[in-house]
Structure 1
Amino acid sequence: MSGGKLPEGWATSTINEMCNLNPKLKLDDDLDVGFMPMAGVPTTYLGKCNFETKKWSEVKKGFTQFQNDDVIFAKITPCFENGKAVVIKEFPNGYGAGSTEYYVLRSINGLINPHWLFALVKTKDFLTNGALNMSGSVGHKRVTKE
């Protein structure tokens, strides 16, 4: 890989080209799903989600929606800088909802492995770049979608 060239068959891409941001779900109101507030999102690589089971009808509006294999990360300070992020796994029926202060990344047609995407959002470069590009007032700064 001398000279900054990628191996044959590789290409550069952006997250926007590989993932849908904050996709919505349409589920049966009686379905059990996981509900995870910000406190339930780990800051470590191997941390587990802490969630409770609720009916979809209770959490489908006014919360961020996600499903198994989505990558979520906090968009508000200081949670973003603290690295609150996780690959969603083992949620009831594969679905969940939680804080409106999450960004959800869902791979488009398997273009990127969710664990690689998770590793990317945990890098120092991603966290530093996001922190430098926050908007909003002190105490309520958020990472922009760009």
Structure 2
Amino acid sequence: MSFPQYPEHKDSGVEWLGEVPVHWQIKRMRFIATLNPSKSEVRHLPDTREVSFIPMEAVGEEGSLDLTQSRPIGDVIDGYTYFSEGDVTFAKITPCFENGKGAIMRGLREEVGFGTTELTVARPNATQVTGQYLYRVISSRPFRELGESHMYGAGGQKRVPDDFLRNFVSDPRTPSVGPESDR
């Protein structure tokens, strides 16, 4: 796949990103996506409504989803991670994170899904970013390498913290100072 060449570039101010087209705006994830949206959005649905259910083994390493399972919303609303049609998810636990498990949630029953608590959800802000672009970011080598360096926990249960995603754009190993803190 090839992409168009842009005539002018600028320094992004982000070590791993390097130069970007001059018209690009560099923003932190928290300003372009809603992270882990609230289940209150679907609490009005009847407890018997069948919705998609996605355990970790149903999430592929190349963006695929096994959508064969469903459960009544009343059985999953309080114990699982919520997402809806178009949300982007990725595994936050080792080794699933390093292996690239993640997907754009498409084809969900009733456009609603619940799944493993080991998923992080990013809902793209349509005025800022597309789901396809967001998925490309979370699938990228820099995202995974930096995320892996921020994992915490022990005994094979390391996880990527939500703050890593919220602040992702600048090198998250160093706190932001100055104008970048408002991006």
Q: Give the alignment's TM-score, normalised by structure 1.
A: 0.91
Q: Which residue of 2 aligns with 1:123?
A: 140
Please tell me whether Structure 1 or Structure 2 has the larger radius of gyration of its CA atoms: 2
- Relative to structure 2, which stretch is displaced further, 76-85 or 51-60? 51-60
Any unmatched runs of 5+ in structure 2?
Answer: 1-7, 12-19, 164-183
Q: Identity of counterpart residues, as a percentage?
A: 30
- AA aligned to 1:11 is Q
Any unmatched runs of 5+ in structure 1?
Answer: none
Q: Give the alignment's TM-score, normalised by structure 2.
A: 0.74
Map residues 106-121 of structure 1 onto 2, 5 A cutoff: 106-121=123-138
Q: Which of 39, 42, 48 in structure 1 is aligned with 2:60?
A: 42
Q: Which residue of 2 aligns with 1:15?
A: 29
Note the alpha carbon deviations across 1:4-39, whole angstroms, 9 max, x for none. 26433x311011111111112333122221000000
Map residues 44-59 of structure 1 onto 2, 5 A cutoff: 44-45=62-63, 47-59=64-76
CA RMSD, 1 decimal: 1.5
Give, in angstroms, the shift of residue 127 of structure 1.
0.4
- AA aligned to 1:120 is V
- AA aligned to 1:34 is S
Give, in angstroms, the shift of residue 123 of structure 1.
0.4
Aligned length: 144
Q: What CA distance in whole angstroms lies between the structure 2 residues aligned with 1:113 and 1:107?
A: 6
Identify, as 1 or 2, the structure richer in strand.
Answer: 1
Question: After the TM superposition, which parts of structure 1 deviate over 2 Å for at least 4 consecutive aligned residues?
Answer: 1-8, 47-51
Q: What CA distance in whole angstroms lies between the structure 2 residues aligned with 1:66 and 1:48?
A: 13
Q: What CA distance in whole angstroms lies between the structure 2 residues aligned with 1:88 and 1:3?
A: 34
